[in-house]
Structure 1
Amino acid sequence: MAISTNSIIHYTDSFDILTLILKEGFKVKYCVEKLNLGKSGKSHAAHPMISFCDIPLSDSEQHFDAYGKYGVGLSKEWAVKNGVNPVLYIDKNSLFANSLYELIKERRKSNTNLTKKQDSEILQIKSYAKNYSGLLKRKEVNNPNYKFYDEREWRLVPPKEKLNDAIFSLNLSYFNKNKESLNESISDCRFEFSSKDISYIIVEKTSEIPKMINFLRTDYSDKCTAKELDILFSKICSTEQIMEDY
Structure 2
Amino acid sequence: MALSARTLFHYTEEQGFLIDALQNGFAPRYCLEDFSYAYPPNPPGSVEIALAMKCFCDIRLSQTQEHTAMYGEYVIGLTKEWAIRNEITPVLYFHETSLNPNLYIHVQTTLSEIVMGMLGKSMEEMASTDLRSLPYIPSALSNCIGIMHKMKYYMKQIDGYMLRGGERMHKYFYDEKEWRYTPQTNRESPEENARPELFIEEFRDEVIKEQEHRRLRQYHRLLFDETDIKYLIVPSAEKEIEFKQALRDQVTRFGNIDNLIQKVRNFEDIRNDH
Distance in 2 between residues matched to 1:186 and 1:235, nearest whole Å: 28
Are 1:175 and 2:200 an aligned pair? Answer: no
The one of 100, 121, 137 equivalent to 2:147 is: 121
Structure 1 partner of 2:83: 79
Q: How does 1:48-63 map to 2 (within 5 A)?
A: 48-63=52-67
- Residue range with higher mean Cα deviation, 3-12 or 110-119: 110-119
Q: Which has the larger radius of gyration?
A: 2
Q: How has the CA–CA distance of structure 1 residues 221 and 180 changed in structure 2, closer, same or farther, with 3 Å as cutoff? A: closer
- Residue range with higher mean Cα deviation, 83-92 or 113-122: 113-122
Provide TM-score, normalisation by structure 2.
0.78
Are 1:242 and 2:270 an aligned pair? Answer: yes
AA at the equivalent of 1:241: D
Are 1:26 and 2:52 an aligned pair? Answer: no
Give the unaligned 5+ runs of structure 1.
none
Q: How does 1:33-182 map to 2 (within 5 A)?
A: 33-37=33-37, 40-41=41-42, 43-105=47-109, 109=123, 110=126, 115-136=141-162, 138=164, 144=170, 146-162=171-187, 164-177=192-205, 178-182=208-212
AA at the equivalent of 1:207: E
In the alignment, is the contact (CA less than 8 A) between 2:19 and 2:251 conserved in 1? no
Alpha-carbon distance, 1:17 to partner: 0.9
Alpha-carbon distance, 1:136 to partner: 4.2
Secondary structure in structure 2 of the residue aligned to 1:216: helix
User: What is the root-mean-square deviation in Å for CA atoms of aligned residues?
Assistant: 2.8
Distance in 2 between residues matched to 1:209 and 1:242, nearest whole Å: 13
More strand by share: 1
Distance in 2 between residues matched to 1:29 and 1:157, nearest whole Å: 9
Distance in 1 between residues matched to 2:204 and 2:5, nearest whole Å: 35
Alpha-carbon distance, 1:241 to partner: 2.9
Q: How has the CA–CA distance of structure 1 residues 12 and 34 changed in structure 2, closer, same or farther, with 3 Å as cutoff? A: same
| Count of residue correspondences | 242
Distance in 2 between residues matched to 1:143 and 1:44, nearest whole Å: 15
Secondary structure in structure 1 of the residue aligned to 2:194: coil
Secondary structure in structure 1 of the residue aligned to 2:75: strand
In the alignment, is the contact (CA less than 8 A) between 1:32 and 1:44 conserved in 2? yes
| TM-superposition CA deviations, 1:178-219 (whole Å, max 9, x none) | 322221232221011111111111112220111222222333
In the alignment, is the contact (CA less than 8 A) between 1:35 and 1:131 conserved in 2? no
Alpha-carbon distance, 1:30 to partner: 1.6
Secondary structure in structure 2 of the residue aligned to 1:191: coil
In the alignment, is the contact (CA less than 8 A) between 2:51 and 2:153 conserved in 1? yes
Structure 2 partner of 1:207: 238
Secondary structure in structure 2 of the residue aligned to 1:27: coil
In the alignment, is the contact (CA less than 8 A) between 2:32 and 2:163 conserved in 1? no
Structure 2 partner of 1:7: 7
Percent sequence identity over aligned pairs: 30
Alpha-carbon distance, 1:230 to partner: 3.6
Q: How has the CA–CA distance of structure 1 residues 104 and 64 changed in structure 2, closer, same or farther, with 3 Å as cutoff? A: farther
